[in-house]
Amino acid sequence: MGNNLLKGKRGIIFGALNPDSIAWKVAERAYEEGATLTLTNTPVALRMGETKALAEKLNTKVIGADATNVDDLKKLFTESIEFLGGKIDFVLHSIGMSPNVRKERHYSDLDYNYLDKTLDVSAISFHKILQTARKLDAINEWGSVVALSYVAAQRTFFGYNDMADAKSLLESIARSFGYIYGREKRVRVNTISQSPTMTTAGSGVKGFDRLLDFAERMSPLGNASGDECADYCITLFSDLTRKVTMQNLFNDGGFSNMGMSLRALQQYEKGLYTDESTGKRSKDHSWD
Ligand SMILES: NC(=O)c1ccc[n+]([C@@H]2O[C@H](COP(=O)([O-])OP(=O)(O)OC[C@H]3O[C@@H](n4cnc5c(N)ncnc54)[C@H](O)[C@@H]3O)[C@@H](O)[C@H]2O)c1
């Protein structure tokens, strides 16, 4: 049940591939809150994924666009404004892809053509979206643009590879463009740093199931789900957060401010004091 938080607002949602996608959940929640929106993804994703089914459910259309292609983005904004009947109020950038991760290239042995692709798709596309929107004057005053990030932008996580560099750049673009767009047009630009979430992109990261479990044990409130990320996005698209801009906002159950938790320590202890040959615990230690 919605509360009409986005009533009358028009949006563009990038990156809804299938029902696991965070963007899918955001689109559903935005619609529930009274928004009208268009969906967009790459031509390949539109062939392989389920975006069209979501469009039917939300009474809208899908406009194909590669977010690294400025001409595609111009067409996307122009057609969205035409279809929705006015300028845009919110945009979600929910896009990530690393060929180095996909091909299991080690961070100390990166393929630089792949790295260019990682940065272009996962970060520079955010700049391209903002620059295109500004040049077309496609976003209303007090509009809100959000991209999804991960804490590997600040801290090192095994296996996250060159996506960490992409997320750092993404967050920097939010600050740099947020200043310009805020000053000129009162448009807000933020990133949400989300907990690990089981999606197509997420599960591409090495050891992802264990990372998810570790984050769950470390976070006092537990991992934030895709639905909870969608809720947070809705607040940032709404008029309730008009003065929030140029921020990287953690939606992670407290993970980013933890050093060690009791639950993680207890799990670690189990491994430490279990005899690998017999599987029996050799020593007990209690924590309080
Ligand atoms: N899943 C997680 O654990 C997690 C955690 C923190 C942040 N994020 C971020 O959330 C965002 C969404 O990812 P997700 O987990 O929902 O996975 P997902 O695989 O469902 O979504 C990724 C989307 O990016 C799209 N995409 C790839 N290349 C593109 C291009 N050139 N142009 C336009 N779209 C393109 C894909 O088609 C797909 O729809 C990503 O930025 C991801 O890094 C994910």
Residue extents of the structural domains in the chain? 10-257, 264-288
Span 194-207, average pLDDT: 89
Are 39 and 51 in contact by the 8 Å Cβ rule? The answer is yes
Q: Give domain 10-257's CATH number out of 3.40.50.2000, 3.40.50.970, 3.40.190.10, 3.40.50.720.
A: 3.40.50.720
Question: What pLDDT shows up at residue 202?
Answer: 86
Residue located via tokens 């996250």: 160
Q: How far is the CA of 80 from the centre of ligand 1 (A)?
A: 21
- Does residue 276 carry a pLDDT above 80? no
Of the candidates 232, 212, 230, 170, the one whose C-alpha atom is nearest the C-alpha of residue 23 is 230
How far apart are the C-alpha atoms of 98 and 162, rounded to whole Å? Answer: 7
How far apart are the C-alpha atoms of 155 and 29, rounded to whole Å? Answer: 31
Residue 75 assigned to a binding site:
no
Are 19 and 50 in contact by the 8 Å Cβ rule? The answer is yes
Residue closest by Cα to atom 35 of ligand 1: 95
pLDDT tens-digit readout, 13-46:
999 999 999 999 999 999 999 999 999 999 999 9
Question: What's at 108, amino acid-wise?
Answer: S
Instruction: Outline where DSSP puts E strands in the chain.
Output: 10-14, 36-40, 88-93, 139-149, 188-194, 248-251
Mean pLDDT of the chain: 95
Q: Which residues line ligand 1 (CB under 6 A)?
A: 14-15, 17, 21-23, 41-42, 45, 66-68, 94-97, 121, 148-150, 194, 196-197, 199-202
Confidence of residue 283 (pLDDT cuts 50, 70, 90): low
Residue 63 assigned to a binding site:
no
More confident residue, 216 or 1: 216
Span 240-249, average pLDDT: 98
Q: How far is the CA of 285 from the centre of ligand 1 (A)?
A: 42
Of all atoms in ligand 1, which is nearest to the CA of residue 120?
Answer: 31
Of the candidates 187, 174, 180, 176, the one whose C-alpha atom is nearest the C-alpha of residue 247 is 174
Confidence of residue 279 (pLDDT cuts 50, 70, 90): confident
- The DSSP line for 62-108 is B----TT-HHHHHHHHHHHHHHHTS-EEEEEE-----HHHHTT--GG
Residue closest by Cα to atom 44 of ligand 1: 202
Active site residues: 150, 160
Of the candidates 253, 164, 161, the one whose C-alpha atom is nearest the C-alpha of residue 207 is 161
Question: What pLDDT shows up at residue 272?
Answer: 86
Residue 15 assigned to a binding site:
yes
